[in-house]
């Protein structure tokens, strides 16, 4: 909120306190200053009187003026404004003057052959915001009052424009500081200065003739004062200036007084023209469904729950948000009712949000208002109406109030505050702070006390809140850094976190780059390439910002494909990326790993590069299993034959305890061309399933002291028998002397029957306890060849 | 005979010196030193000589034989040396051509910050706590002292899934889970990094962003401990010379609450465009855990106190690495990502 320094100065003594000091202290007491601005700027200004107006001989719109500047003499000024006339008092920026927010320098100039020694200014040119000026003020030079003192050089002060605007970020707990009175009190406490807030009181002249009540729990207080004999007219200058500084344009004295009181007290008021209301009763209701024409002349459909001030039946005002058009004050109003009520914050917020209507009033209710100053507020309003709107008769205030308002009472100890802050501030010093903030302290014993905060401090509820008051007023300088003293704790990553990190670093070391993509995806992206979660349901947000970010994704690959697409579109064709992210669906949550390889693997710059192939993606997968110590035999790897996303002959899936936990391979050419991702290899893996798998502890194995023997065999076999089958069968069913089975050639084509392939393998035989004899090897070999034969293989000669 | 021997010796010497490869040398060796060679055939005349003459003759032949052998050997070495030199010369390559690629990829900047911050706090005995992203509003708000009608719970600001679930708007719900699991017994020392979601999108706000939340709870934890801990962290993360300061602020789940600024690492506090001429950069929010939060999460607020802090991951990365737009983290333009290759 923006505060006028001049207005604050009216209520708190800021003499000899520099602006810098004020701003610094505000910021470091929790009232962060976000900006400082001058309402207008001008150096070298003077008030002048136009004594002669002549048309410029060479221009249809320029005038040559003679302006009397009093002591400073008479100047010739060329001016283009069309509202110049003789005897008009104007603001003159002399030669050398600096005007406006950008300090524009005025220089002597010759305009179409005529010398000009200054400039007549509009307020716009002095930097006043356009929204605060009338159209006339914007289009011409400022017309000063006839009694403006010619020769006066403190022009901004004369105009009430010598004000500094301080923008303060009022935090949610300090809504009390949205009022000038409270902020003045706060500043008074910070600088230990006197606060001058007068209690206005206007005696009633009449008995109350209206009744007020509420039928809603969300409005538990409603006060009204009836004032008669008012005259609607122009506001006094000081009031216009005060409001202008706060960014409010003057309307008329009544509206202006309402706004001014709201600024000072923080309490939104509403005023009714009682002559336009038939009934003598105000009833707040929340059980109506009706149409309502508000002050802004728009119709709003109100529902049950909305707080409506009625005359018993008909809506008069949308409680706390905006008055109705039917009973609004106009220039002929004389007999008015001033409302000062408490509408529940949450309820105002709900209605305001639903109908899309908010006002200064509603935002104050939403943020929280002073809970108990309705009488003071009504008296202040009465006083101002009496002074500036000729109000004569004042009825008694009628107040419906069923709140159980209790002054807040906080038990606390001085030692608690020091313990919480890590300080050793004396009790006396704390007492001083409390006193300056208007918090009354009742000592129970040496350490214990009861604090009674002032009513407007609705944020002070418990002992921790009191520690904050000490902290923000004097604590910042008293706190010195220490380190926590606690029992020793064992820090570190959990086993899961550790493995996850090792894997990420492994993938990076393989040359893959890590990505970070959005969790929320579009509907189209939400249900493609989701093989691991094809039976799961996506979460969908109720209130997306765009359709691009609508569903909580259940697969990483679509996001990664997008990244590849983006990079390809930016001339980066070779992409090897991965991402580790959580996947959350209605049925299950897990950590997923996605990898995509696309384009060429640059093994040696451009001199040696090759397209990524299936065995790159399967190699990465095997390295992951190997790092995690997961024996391949624990996982079932099968060809993935029936996916629309993966190549039926170049992809695999793997299962753990019959649950699908991973897919990998080349993208299906159809899907790839649809996505423009030709020659792409991808993997998605349920990492949680793998990382949570118990693996055996590392333990040394005896290394055989005896030499090994290798023998090579070549055979033809049906194409669909996989090497894995051959290897597994050999290891499981053949001799235990077989240490390893390695394939070193696979061939299809000439000399090999169709549907068959030639496979060459090397078997390594070894024993841990003796050197193998020829006969033993031969036996093992015979056995192995039988096993191979059982798979339909035929040994090649 | 002796003359002939000497002649052979001269002849051999000439041939050796004019030999240009190993093969020729082998031939010379065969010609002069094999048993059937002319020179060696003179050995058979030895027996015809007697006494001193015999000895002299023997010496002559031996010395000639030795000389030839030595000369061959020397020449052989010379030729081998030369051959090697030629071979090496032929083998010269351009060592500036592209190498075989053993380079690593690049960690994402977001993860890099998480890993760095985690390492610092793990070093101080903290554990890492992680939580779900589709969270109950009870954990995201209620237990953190943000009651039902609080404006921060406005539907406008968070992504709701249904009446009671939303994409977490902060990593703080992890705190609540950890505290409830601790069943009222301290100490707790955790940080929880992760993604959070808010309905916000511009150059400095993304609807998805990262936070690292820290929480310490024990019997004697104070605001000064918070200051000391953050100072240690900031110096490690941003450099020994960094100073920190606190400004009072407000968060519902801490009391007192502070914003923490660090002295600008670009200008050292003199004022520059990074710190908007103030010399300070806002880096995180923190405070003492609100007693209501402790109580709701199963801790005796009379016995235990704690502090909490929250760091914006992208904000730290943007400041530290001069990133100008938060959306860069999510675009994954590899020309951007790969810039952060260096460890």
Q: pLDDT tens digits for A554-585?
A: 999 999 999 999 999 999 999 999 999 999 99
Cβ contact (<8 Å) for B100 and A552? no
Cβ contact (<8 Å) for A511 and B98? no
Between chain A and chain B, the number of residue pairs with CB atoms below 8 A apart is: 255
pLDDT digits (tens, 9 = 90+) for B197-244: 999 877 778 899 999 999 999 999 999 999 999 999 999 999 999 999
Q: For residue B149, which residues of chain A lie inside 8 Å, CB to CB?
A: 345-346, 349
Cβ contact (<8 Å) for B128 and A493? yes
- Would the pLDDT of A710 be above 80? yes
Q: For residue B124, which residues of chain A lie inside 8 Å, CB to CB?
A: 491
- Would the pLDDT of A405 be above 80? no
Say what the pLDDT of residue A703 is: 86
Name the residue facing A604 among B100, B105, B220 (closest C-beta). B100
Say what the pLDDT of residue A760 is: 95
**A664 against A71, higher pLDDT:** A664
Minimum distance, in Å, between the CA of residue B320 and any CA atom of chain A = 19
Q: Which of B223, B249, B303 to mutate to test the interface with A (most CBs of A within 10 A)?
A: B223
Q: Which of B111, B334, B335, B339 to mutate to test the interface with A (most CBs of A within 10 A)?
A: B334
pLDDT digits (tens, 9 = 90+) for A108-157: 888 888 889 999 999 999 888 888 888 888 888 999 988 889 888 888 88
Say what the pLDDT of residue B61 is: 86
Say what the pLDDT of residue A480 is: 94
Which tokens go with B179? 């505290």
Name the residue facing B105 among A28, A576, A604 (closest C-beta). A576
Q: Where are the beta strands (DSSP E) in A414-463?
A: 440-443, 448-452
Rounded Cα–Cα distance for residues A14 and A187 (Å): 9
Beta pairing, strands A315-318 & A219-228: unpaired
Name the residue facing A484 among B216, B248, B331 (closest C-beta). B216
Say what the pLDDT of residue A759 is: 95
Taking 70 as the pLDDT cut, the residues of chain B under it are 151-152, 155
Within 13 Å, how many C-alpha atoms sit on residue A545's CB side?
A: 16
Contacting B residues, span 212-241, partner chain A, CB-CB under 8 Å: 216, 218, 220-225, 227-229, 231-232
CB B66 within 8 A of CB B32: no
- Contacts for B38 with CB less than 8 Å, ≥ 6 apart: B4, B8, B32
Minimum distance, in Å, between the CA of residue B183 and any CA atom of chain A = 17
3-state SS class at B16:
helix
CB A233 within 8 A of CB A218: no
Long-range contacts of residues A430-433, Cβ cutoff 8 Å, at least 24 apart: A430/A470, A433/A189, A433/A469, A433/A470, A433/A473, A433/A474
Say what the pLDDT of residue A102 is: 86
Say what the pLDDT of residue B292 is: 95
Q: Which helix (H) or strand (E) holds B53?
A: helix B51-90
Rg (CA), chain B: 43
Rounded Cα–Cα distance for residues B113 and A12 (Å): 48
- Would the pLDDT of A797 be above 80? no
Mean pLDDT calculated for residue range A153-173: 88
* Backbone dihedral angles phi then psi of residue A390, each to the nearest 5 degrees: 55, 30
Which DSSP string corresponds to A8-68?
A: HHHHB--TT--HHHHHHHHHTTT-EEEEEEES--EEEEEEEEEEEEEE-TT-SS-EEEEEE
The residue to which tokens 């708190």 are assigned: A12
CB A704 within 8 A of CB A766: yes
Q: What size, in residues, is chain B?
A: 343
Cβ contact (<8 Å) for A509 and B118? no
3-state SS class at A555:
coil
Q: Where are the beta strands (DSSP E) in A509-574?
A: 513-514, 520-521, 551-552
Cβ contact (<8 Å) for A491 and B189? yes
Does B181 lie at the interface with A, CB-CB under 8 angstroms?
A: no
CB A760 within 8 A of CB A712: yes
Say what the pLDDT of residue A396 is: 95
The end-to-end CA distance of chain B, in Å, is 83
Of residues A219, A210, A328, the one with CA closest to residue A284: A219
Q: For residue A172, which residues of chain B lie inside 8 Å, CB to CB?
A: 151-152, 250, 252
Mean pLDDT calculated for residue range A695-719: 91
Mean pLDDT rounded to a whole number for chain A: 92
Which tokens go with B40? 């060696």
Q: How many helices (H) and strands (E) does chain B have?
A: 12, 9
Cβ contact (<8 Å) for B333 and A419? no
ipTM of the complex: 0.89
Cβ contact (<8 Å) for B256 and A481? no
Cis preceding-peptide flag for B256 (omega within 30 of 0)? yes
Q: Which helix (H) or strand (E) holds B113?
A: helix B109-123
CB A514 within 8 A of CB A577: yes
CB B312 within 8 A of CB B195: no
CA A536: distance to chain centroid?
31
Confidence of residue A305 (pLDDT cuts 50, 70, 90): very high
Rounded Cα–Cα distance for residues A314 and B298 (Å): 51
- The vertex-B132 CA angle with B127 and B135, nearest 5°, equals 125
CB A117 within 8 A of CB A95: yes
Which tokens go with B276? 């908007």
Which DSSP string corresponds to A582-608?
A: EEE-SS-EEEEEEEEEESEEEEETBTE
Which DSSP string corresponds to B269-337?
A: TS--TTTTTSSEEEEEEEEEEPHHHHHHTT--TTT-EEEEEEEEHHHHHHHHHT---TTHHHH--HHHH
């Amino acid at each position: 909120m923006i505060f006028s320094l001049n207005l604050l100065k009216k209520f708190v003594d800021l003499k000899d306190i520099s602006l810098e000091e004020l701003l610094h202290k505000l910021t470091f007491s929790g009232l962060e200053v976000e900006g400082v601005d001058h309402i207008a700027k001008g150096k070298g200004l003077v008030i002048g009187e136009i004594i002669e107006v002549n048309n410029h001989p060479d221009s249809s719109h320029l005038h040559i003026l003679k302006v009397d500047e009093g002591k400073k003499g008479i100047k010739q000024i060329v001016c283009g404004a069309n509202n110049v006339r003789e005897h008009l008092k104007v603001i003159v920026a002399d030669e050398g003057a600096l005007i406006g927010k950008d300090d524009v320098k005025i220089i002597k100039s010759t305009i179409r052959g005529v010398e000009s020694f200054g400039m007549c200014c509009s307020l716009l040119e002095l930097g006043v915001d356009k929204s605060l000026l009338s159209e006339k003020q914007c289009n011409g030079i400022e017309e000063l009052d006839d009694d403006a003192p010619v020769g006066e050089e403190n022009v901004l002060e004369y105009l009430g424009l010598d004000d500094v605007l301080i923008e303060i970020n009022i935090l949610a707990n300090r809504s009390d500081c949205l009022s000038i009175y409270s902020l003045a009190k706060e500043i008074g406490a910070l600088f230990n200065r006197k606060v001058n807030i007068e209690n206005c009181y206007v005696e009633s002249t009449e008995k109350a003739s209206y009744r007020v009540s509420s039928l809603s729990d969300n409005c538990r207080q409603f006060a009204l004062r009836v004032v008669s004999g008012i005259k609607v007219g122009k506001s006094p200058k000081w009031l216009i200036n005060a409001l202008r500084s706060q960014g409010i344009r003057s309307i008329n004295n009544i509206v202006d007084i309402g706004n001014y009181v709201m600024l000072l007290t923080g309490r939104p008021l509403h005023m009714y023209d009682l002559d336009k209301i038939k009934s003598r009763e105000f009833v707040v209701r929340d059980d109506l469904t009706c149409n309502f024409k508000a002050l802004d002349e728009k119709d709003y459909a109100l529902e049950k729950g909305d707080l409506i001030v009625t005359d018993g039946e008909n809506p008069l005002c949308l409680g706390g948000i905006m008055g109705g058009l039917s009973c609004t004050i106009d220039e002929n109003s004389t007999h008015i009712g001033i409302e000062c009520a408490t509408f529940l914050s949450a309820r105002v917020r709900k209605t305001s949000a639903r109908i899309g209507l908010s006002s200064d009033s509603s935002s104050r209710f939403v943020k929280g208002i002073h809970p108990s100053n309705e009488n003071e507020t009504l008296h202040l309003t009465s006083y101002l109406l009496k002074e500036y709107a000729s109000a004569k008769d004042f009825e008694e205030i009628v107040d419906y109030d069923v709140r159980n308002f209790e002054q807040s009472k906080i038990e606390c100890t001085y030692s608690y505050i020091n313990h919480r802050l890590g300080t050793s501030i004396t009790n006396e010093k704390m007492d001083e702070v409390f006193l300056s903030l208007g918090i009354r302290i009742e000592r129970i014993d040496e350490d214990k006390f009861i604090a009674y905060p002032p009513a407007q401090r609705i944020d002070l509820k418990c002992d921790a809140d009191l520690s904050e008051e000490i902290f923000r007023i004097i604590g910042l300088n008293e706190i010195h850094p220490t380190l926590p003293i606690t029992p020793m704790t064992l820090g570190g990553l959990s086993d899961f976190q550790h493995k996850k990190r090792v894997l990420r670093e492994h993938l990076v070391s393989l040359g893959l780059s890590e990505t970070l993509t959005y969790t929320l995806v579009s509907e189209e992206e939400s249900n493609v390439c989701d093989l691991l979660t094809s039976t799961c349901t996506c979460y969908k947000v109720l209130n997306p910002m765009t359709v691009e970010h609508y569903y909580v994704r259940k697969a990483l690959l679509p996001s990664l494909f997008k990244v590849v697409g983006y990079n390809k579109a930016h001339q980066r064709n070779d992409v090897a990326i991965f991402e580790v992210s959580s996947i959350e669906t209605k049925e299950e949550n897990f950590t997923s790993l996605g990898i995509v390889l696309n384009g060429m693997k640059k093994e040696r710059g451009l001199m040696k590069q090759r397209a990524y192939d299936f065995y790159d993606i399967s190699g990465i997968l095997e390295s992951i299993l190997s790092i995690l110590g997961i024996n391949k035999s624990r996982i079932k790897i099968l060809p993935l034959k029936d996916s629309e996303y993966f190549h039926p002959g170049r992809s695999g899936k793997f299962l753990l305890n019959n649950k699908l936990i991973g897919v990998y391979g080349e993208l299906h050419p159809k899907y790839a061309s649809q996505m423009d991702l030709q020659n792409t290899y991808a993997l998605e893996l349920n990492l949680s399933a793998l990382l949570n798998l118990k693996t055996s502890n590392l333990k040394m194995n005896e290394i055989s002291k005896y030499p090994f023997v290798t023998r090579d065999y070549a055979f033809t076999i049906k194409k669909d028998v996989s090497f894995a089958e051959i290897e597994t069968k050999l290891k499981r069913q053949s001799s235990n002397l077989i240490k390893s089975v390695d394939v070193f050639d696979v061939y299809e084509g000439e000399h090999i029957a169709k549907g068959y392939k030639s496979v060459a393998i090397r078997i390594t035989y070894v024993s841990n306890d003796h050197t193998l004899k020829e006969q033993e090897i031969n036996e093992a070999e015979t056995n192995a060849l039988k096993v191979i034969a059982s798979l339909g293989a035929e040994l090649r000669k | 005979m002796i003359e002939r021997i000497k002649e052979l010796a001269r002849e051999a010497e000439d041939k050796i010196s004019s030999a240009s490869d190993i093969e020729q040398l082998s031939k010379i060796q065969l010609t002069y030193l094999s048993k059937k060679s002319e020179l060696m055939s003179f050995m058979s005349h030895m027996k015809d000589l007697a006494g001193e003459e015999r000895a002299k003759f023997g010496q002559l032949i031996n010395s000639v034989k030795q000389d030839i052998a030595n000369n061959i050997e020397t020449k052989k070495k010379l030729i081998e040396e030369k051959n090697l030199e030629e071979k090496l010369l032929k083998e010269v390559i351009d060592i500036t051509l592209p190498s075989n690629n053993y380079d690593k990829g690049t960690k994402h900047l977001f993860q890099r910050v998480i890993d760095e911050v985690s390492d610092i706090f793990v070093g101080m005995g903290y554990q890492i706590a992680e939580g779900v992203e589709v969270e109950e509003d009870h954990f995201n708000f209620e237990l953190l002292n943000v009651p039902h009608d609080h404006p921060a719970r406005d539907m406008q600001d968070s992504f709701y899934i249904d009446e009671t679930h939303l994409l977490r708007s902060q990593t703080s719900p992890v705190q609540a889970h950890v505290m409830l699991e601790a069943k009222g017994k301290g100490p707790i020392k955790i940080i929880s990094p992760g993604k959070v979601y808010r309905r916000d999108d511009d150059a400095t706000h993304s609807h998805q962003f990262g936070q690292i939340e820290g929480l310490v709870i024990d019997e004697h934890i104070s605001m000064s401990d918070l200051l000391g801990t953050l100072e240690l962290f900031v110096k490690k993360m941003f450099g020994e010379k960094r100073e920190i300061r606190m400004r009072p602020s407000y968060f519902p789940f801490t009391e007192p609450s502070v914003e923490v600024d660090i002295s600008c690492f670009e200008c050292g506090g003199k004022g520059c465009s990074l710190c908007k001429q103030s010399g300070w950069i806002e880096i995180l929010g923190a405070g003492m855990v609100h007693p209501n939060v402790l109580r709701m999460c199963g801790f005796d607020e009379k016995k235990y106190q704690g502090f909490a802090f929250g760091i914006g991951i992208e904000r730290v990365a943007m400041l530290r690495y001069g990133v100008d737009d938060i959306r860069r983290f999510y675009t994954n333009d590899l020309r951007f990502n790969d810039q952060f290759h260096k460890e």
